[in-house]
Amino acid sequence: MLSRRRILVSLAAVPLLPVIAHAKASHRLWQPTKPTPLAFMNRARDLARLGSERGDGTPYGAVIVQNNIIVGEGWNRSYIHHDATAHAETEAIRDAAKRLGTRDLSDCHMVTNGGRPCSMCETAAYWAQIQRMWLEDGEDVVNAGGPKYGGC
Amino acid sequence: MLSRRRILVSLAAVPLLPVIAHAKASHRLWQPTKPTPLAFMNRARDLARLGSERGDGTPYGAVIVQNNIIVGEGWNRSYIHHDATAHAETEAIRDAAKRLGTRDLSDCHMVTNGGRPCSMCETAAYWAQIQRMWLEDGEDVVNAGGPKYGGC
């Protein structure tokens, strides 16, 4: 039997659940001090560099951002995973979906280095309903709008 | 110290390693009695039906075939995995790559029900260098050639 005190404590915790779940979802993901598109892009660039330096794959990185919080990250792991589909953007989308427990990322942005994603990744972002893509244009970070089916 | 007999037995096993590795790779994957395009398509249809019946996702299935052996299989798991990218074809490509330990599936065919794959999946097959796609056309199974970038 639960004591009265225990029941009260349990009930009091209920409104906190979404917050706890969110904290868990973003657990262990690096966050920038100031959440700007450039800060998120720099994280994508870091992931790209770190991943390629250790031989995981080609130098591409991506982060998925929800309400200025990184909720998913990925880098090209096609070599290390022996998987031609392990591109940075698809890895980041899968990571965010897993952490958030939903395939609907319509309130999320995707930030990725190296220009426009390939057709596979942009269509993946389209299916995940990613709201907006932020891409690299030299040193700049540009708002490329929502992903399109087929990338065209 | 290894005995002389043990060393001889070990050396004798070396030429068998590729065979063992292949057997392991296809371990637990159902194989048709007679390896025809229709038999592989029927397996894809079964995976589609079984997966959707238990609520994993939409009714799509796919198998990856190498030398008439199924080396990877997948079905739509977008609901169960909370993942918009978990389409049957992409799941099957990832499964085959994992089992074979290579991202190069250039000696493999992909058999999938439900017509032409979406742009994400066909580009995934393109990156994996899938040699040929076999698609459904009503009750028929048609050779659709190699996958194209973007599916167009």
A101 CB near a chain B CB, below 8 Å? Answer: yes
Higher-scoring residue by pLDDT: A17, B152? B152
Q: Is the pLDDT at B81 greater than 80, yes or no?
A: yes
- Where do runs of H (alpha helix) occur along A26-149? 37-53, 88-100, 119-127
Structure-block tokens of residue A66: 């929800």
B122 is catalytic: no
Residues in chain B with CB shorter than 8 Å from the CB of A94 are 83, 85
Higher-scoring residue by pLDDT: A82, A19? A82
pLDDT band at A27 (very low <50, low <70, confident <90, very high): low
Q: Is the pLDDT at B92 greater than 90, yes or no?
A: yes
Which pTM value belongs to this model? 0.83
Sequence-ordered strand ranges (E) for B43-147: 61-66, 69-75, 108-112, 132-137, 140-143
B106 CB near a chain A CB, below 8 Å? Answer: no
Query: Closest-CA residue in chain A for B98?
Result: A82
Determine the distance in angstroms separating the CA of B77 from the nearest CA of chain A, rounded to an integer: 11
Of A23-37, A41-55, B16-30, B52-66, minimum mean pLDDT range: B16-30
Looking at residue A141, its pLDDT comes to 97
**Contact call for A82 and B100, based on CB within 8 A:** yes
A55 CB near a chain B CB, below 8 Å? Answer: no
Determine the distance in angstroms separating the CA of B121 from the nearest CA of chain A, rounded to an integer: 7
Looking at residue B19, its pLDDT comes to 43
Residues in chain B with CB shorter than 8 Å from the CB of A116 are none
Partner residues linked to A140 by β-bridges: A137
With tokens 């996702």, the residue in question is: B57
Looking at residue B28, its pLDDT comes to 86
Mean pLDDT (chain A) is 88
Looking at residue A1, its pLDDT comes to 46
Side-chain half-sphere CA neighbours of B131 within 13 A: 9
- Cα four-point dihedral sign B66, B71, B75, B77: negative
pLDDT band at B4 (very low <50, low <70, confident <90, very high): low
